[in-house]
Chains A and B, each alone.
Chain A
Amino acid sequence: AQSVTQLGSHVSVSEGALVLLRCNYSSSVPPYLFWYVQYPNQGLQLLLKYTTGATLVKGINGFEAEFKKSETSFHLTKPSAHMSDAAEYFCAVWDTGNQFYFGTGTSLTVIP
């Protein structure tokens, strides 16, 4: 089975600062990789995904993530945080067993 590790259950950044949320996965075969965002009392919304091709993936709301096979990582970044980015972020893996495995989530706080 896959495992997904998100380092840091809580991350705080100042408005306008760089956002970096870390995700590492375990897999002998590169899986499909995803970042989802969850706002309070809402369902999961897809931010971006990596399936094949370019390893730098751009998503909605100015987020991007880079797949690094050698590091088994898929960290999420945004150059400048907005107040509206405050939410829970989940990294997920879709493997050849056709199932999602989610990390435990990182809660992002944006300080004005």
Chain B
Amino acid sequence: GAGVSQSPRYKVAKRGQDVALRCDPISGHVSLFWYQQALGQGPEFLTYFQNEAQLDKSGLPSDRFFAERPEGSVSTLKIQRTQQEDSAVYLCASSLRVKSSYNEQFFGPGTRLTVL
């Protein structure tokens, strides 16, 4: 496709459930980023992949959060034992080159997660 896509667009989970959020980056993009955007806040960095390697996961809020990109394209963000504070929009972004210097990130529409 022409842009970054994410699925599902909306997810409602009961507290304690596991969820998996998918990101399809732009074809050929080396770098992939996940962000968490809480209500009324700006996006906050979660983790970064260069191809299949997860080079930075400093933003993951707890060990319940896990991300992977096994073949260097599609990525999945998994949240185990969801809590109400996990409710947010999860944004994925990709960029053409490695993160050694700025290059434009293209954002997907996000997945809105609501934990009841």
Contact = CB atoms under 8 A, between A and B. Distances in A.
Contacts of B101: 98
A32 B100 CA distance: 14
Contacts of A99: 45, 56
Contacts of A4: 42
A9 B39 CA distance: 12
Contact of B109 (A9, A42, A46, A102): A42
B105 A43 contact: no
B108 A43 contact: yes
B9 to A, nearest CB: 8
Contacts of B99: 98
Interface residues of A, number: 23
A74 interface: no
B41 A45 contact: no
Given A43-B4, A44-B107, A103 B42 contact: yes
Contacts of B9: 41
B85 interface: no
A102 B104 contact: no
A32 B102 contact: yes
Nearest to A88: B42
Interface of B: 3-4, 9, 33, 35, 40-45, 56, 91, 93, 99-102, 104-105, 107-110
Interface of A: 4, 9, 32, 36, 41-46, 49, 51, 90, 92, 94, 98-105
Given A45-B107, A90-B42, 7 more contacts: A4-B42, A43-B4, A43-B91, A92-B42, A94-B102, A98-B101, A103-B42
